[in-house]
Amino acid sequence: MHHFVFRVALLGALLGAFSARQALAADPELTVAEKAAGWQLLFDGRSTTGWMSPKGKPLPPSHVQDGALNPHPCDYMLVYEKPLDDYELSLEFKLSPKCNSGIFVRTFPLEPRPGKDVGFNGLEIAIDDTTTADFHDSGAFYDLVKPTANAMKPAGEWNTALVTSRGPKLEVAINGRTVSAIDLDLWPEMNRRPDGSTHKFDVAFKDHPRRGYVGLQDHGSDCWYRNIKLRPFPTAAK
């Protein structure tokens, strides 16, 4: 009897562990409503299929961790395989303590200019483990537009982000709260914001390509991105 009870308990423990692993590794799925609305999955939760380095090289499977993509360590960022036009980008992310990361949009081309990193070829939405709301805090268009608030949860907890990129206008929501927006038509000068203050980029963003690559930045710390979904807009709607 003792051996029977032990075997039942062991079987229950093994099934529980298996179920837990299955839950951790569950593939992301689109709901019926999301499919009807035109959403697409950009990450299958199991592999780096569809993602590459900024130099177009395949990514090692070690970047996939418990159903999420971790860009650390990599060659600056993990890049979705093809440039995108107008869209909504929805994802979840989690940071390690003091992490510095970012979501890059409209990165084009992927070949950096001499003396510059590829980040100068796109717009970065800052993703950082901070509590302030300045030019380098979560939800900011990095060094360009401050977020109106820091809507982040503490390190180790999952957050949501929604990025809308349509014509000259982009908008960012963190955890359901719209925190920043930019109209690139109002940015005709290099190194200068519309209010006359200076920023680091020698780019006239009014003339920057309105399509480009999405990237998940590595800046030296572990971070995780999952449930990465895209809803393209008609390209004529600008």
Q: How confident is the model at residue 13 (pLDDT cuts 50, 70, 90)?
A: very low
pLDDT grade, residue 22 (50/70/90)? Answer: very low
Where do the domains of the chain lie?
29-232
Tokens of 43: 């990450």
Q: Give me the percent of the chain exceeding a pLDDT of 90.
A: 87
What's the rounded mean pLDDT across residues 169-174? 98
The 10 Å CB-count burial string (b at 16+, else e) for 157-195 is eebbbbbbbbebebbbbbbeebbbebebeebeeeeebee
Q: Kindly state the tokens that stand for 17.
A: 């562990």
Q: pTM for the whole thing?
A: 0.89
Q: Is the pLDDT of residue 15 over 50?
A: no
**Which CATH number does the domain 29-232 belong to among 1.20.1560.10, 2.60.120.560, 3.40.50.20, 1.10.8.50?**
2.60.120.560
Q: Whole-angstrom Cα distance, residue 153 to residue 127?
A: 11
Q: How high does pLDDT run on average in the chain? A: 91
At 16, the pLDDT band (50, 70, 90 cuts) reads low
Distances (CA, A) of 79 to 3, 29, 130: 54, 21, 25
Handedness of CA 130, 121, 45, 64 (dihedral sign): negative
222 has a pLDDT exceeding 90: yes
- Over residues 171-193, the mean pLDDT reads 98
pLDDT for 177 equals 98
What is the band of 220 on the pLDDT scale with cuts at 50, 70, 90?
Answer: very high
Q: List Cα–Cα distances, 10 to 6, 18, 20, 23, in angstroms.
A: 6, 12, 15, 20
